[in-house]
Structure 1
Amino acid sequence: MTVPEIEVNDVPADGYLLDVREREEWVAGHAPEAVHIPMSEIQGRVDEVPADRTVYVVCRVGGRSFQVAAWLTQLGREAVNVDGGMQSWEASGKQMVSESGQPPFVA
Structure 2
Amino acid sequence: MMGGAWFQEVFGSPETVTDECLLARATEAVRSQLGVTSAPCWTWVALQKDCIPQYYMGHFRKVEYMRHLIKENNLSLSLIGSSYDGVSVNDVIFSGRTAAEELIGAAV
TM over 0.5: no
TM-score tier after normalising by the smaller chain length: under 0.3
Give the TM-score normalised by the residue count of structure 1: 0.26
Give the TM-score normalised by the residue count of structure 2: 0.26
The structure with the larger Rg is 2
More helix by share: 2
